[in-house]
Amino acid sequence: MADIPVEHGLLVSVIMFSIGLIGLLVRRNIIFMLLSIEIMFNAAGLAFIVGSTRWIQPDGQVMFMFILAMAAAEVAIGLALVLAIYRGFNTLDADRASRMQG
């Protein structure tokens, strides 16, 4: 484990975060947007793990547990919203659910 340099772990994390962010901005399907958000969560979690291994501190691992719990909660609400939007608009296109424009 200790062979992997910190930079590599962080690089993977940055790549994952970028993929998630680009996915979020590019995809119009709400389900895929949720998936992208999950990827970003995991990127952040990976960064925490890498940090905690580097400095041999348990805090980062604890944070990862929090992120997991939060992601689970977020998905529960997110999917509920997806169902509600589908019922209301008969579509999963996020751009068409734009009735709140100013």
Partner 1 sequence: MLELLWLVVALPLSGFVILATLGRRLPRAVATVIGVGSVGLSAALVIGTGLEFLSSVQSSASFTQHLWTWFQVGRFEASVALRLDALSLVMIFVVTFVGFLIHLYSSEFMADDEGYSRFFAYMNLFVASMLLLVLGENLLLLYLGWEGVGLCSYLLIGFWYRDPANGSAARKAFIVTRIGDTAMAIALFILVYQFGTLSIPRILERAPEVYAVGSGIAVAIAALLLGGAVGKSAQLPLQTWLPDAMAGPTPVSALIHAATMVTAGVYLIARMHTVFELAPVVQMMVAVIGTATMIISGFSALTQHDIKRVLAYSTIGQIGYMFLGLGVGAYAAAMFHFMTHAFFKALLFLGAGVLIMCLHHEHDMFKMGGMRKYFPVTFWTFLIGGGALAAVPLVTAGFYSKDAILWYTWSSDKGNGWLWLFGLIGAFITALYTFRMIFITFFGRAKAKPNHSPGMRTQLPLVVLAVLSVVAGFVYLPETMGHFTPFADLLHTVVPAVPMEHVAFSTELQFQIGTALVPLLGILLAYLMYIREPWAAKNLAKDRPRAGIYRFWQSGWGFDWVYDRLFVRPYYYAARVNRRDVIDALYTLLARITQGLNILLGWSQTGRVRTYAAGIALGVVVMIAIMVFA
The residues of the shown chain that bind partner 1, judged by CB under 8 A, are 21, 24-25, 28, 33, 94-95, 97-102
CA torsion through residues 16, 20, 25, 28, sign = positive
Ranges of H-type helices in 1-102: 6-26, 30-55, 59-89
Q: Which is nearer to partner 1, 3 or 94 (CB)?
A: 94
Instruction: Judge contact between 30 and 94, C-beta under 8 A.
Output: yes
Q: Which is nearer to partner 1, 27 or 54 (CB)?
A: 27
Q: Which is nearer to partner 1, 46 or 94 (CB)?
A: 94
Measured from the CB of residue 65, what is the shortest distance to partner 1 in angstroms?
24
70: number of Cβ within 10 Å: 11
Measured from the CB of residue 58, what is the shortest distance to partner 1 in angstroms?
27
Q: Which is nearer to partner 1, 33 or 46 (CB)?
A: 33
